[in-house]
Structure 1
């Protein structure tokens, strides 16, 4: 997932800066989309991707950033599209799939979430990472997992032999419906 394309831009002030564009591959769409959205916002062109406005300068900048961050084979497929929004939507459709595929992916993720248990040899950070990854992928597919559900899943999935006293204490002291996921981990 580590490929990066370096884009040199000329800001309004003298000098230049290098921005690293993430490079899309077959397995990193969700992370790529998050990073690209931030990059497009940094360059003040995300609005043109979101709404397909008529500002040619913004559209050209957004198109340049998008084309820099996708493989050549995909450039050939989206090269004839004339707006950054159409390019973004084409990439999204290709990697997120049609609604049925999206729904199937979501169901698979939710089943994985339901089966999730912390392994005996796993650290809290590793387990938290797995929960967060499923939550992020689910959100990218349009389904936010409520924070209270993440908190309950985390506490229920800890091995009881190691953590029963901690879990019991947290359940007695905190209102789990109002406690954030990051707070419970801390």
Structure 2
């Protein structure tokens, strides 16, 4: 935009400017021939289309995106950063955010980003608060990405366990999660936080369910965790000798064993020789499984 074009520019800062901004943007966008792109009625080109018409349209899309960015407050930029090449989605998101009340959205984001684990709450309560705030943002049509949500969740954890004053408990856990191959899975990270809380507070939050331990217990009983029959695993089963508290199975999410040692595999193996071979593999393993990391 030239200096002259900045004159009489309506800048969207919140709901109060929304209607005037929509009117001003429509006038300026029509003048530049990009209003159909912004309002979503223009068919966009495929990524593989290299025709001159497609390239011309891409240029117009860039002009439309620049027009939107130049007419909103910097505080609104984070809401549209995920759509750098789609002016229509930018416009739609800005309407959604400001129609619900920017103050509400801003306040919810502040509470979400400042989330902290309280010394007097259980792990279940903490994850509940996290999910509630995330749900509020989704209801406001401003859903945080899984990556951002995981970052907020881990940042909410203290470096020092307030109940034990142990400086390595949560700090080590956060380092481990950042290296975890499944560390980009929000549900998985939530489960790991609950499990770690339960581990650090054995006399507190006892409601956590460990599917790995349940699967092993069910196998020894000769039943499935969810009912029905399952192969019997004696108490002296070699699985019990591979207990490593820091290991996390990436199949069942249980603690203390690798995927190749996972009791839940017994429920998925075919009957007969296939299952026998799987159990025999457990017996044959002689490696030292004392290293850090995800358990395969």
Bigger relative contact order, structure 1 or 2 (CA pairs below 8 A, ≥6 apart):
1
Tell which structure's C-alpha radius of gyration is larger: 2
Relative to the length of structure 1, the TM-score reads: 0.43
Q: Which has the higher strand share?
A: 1
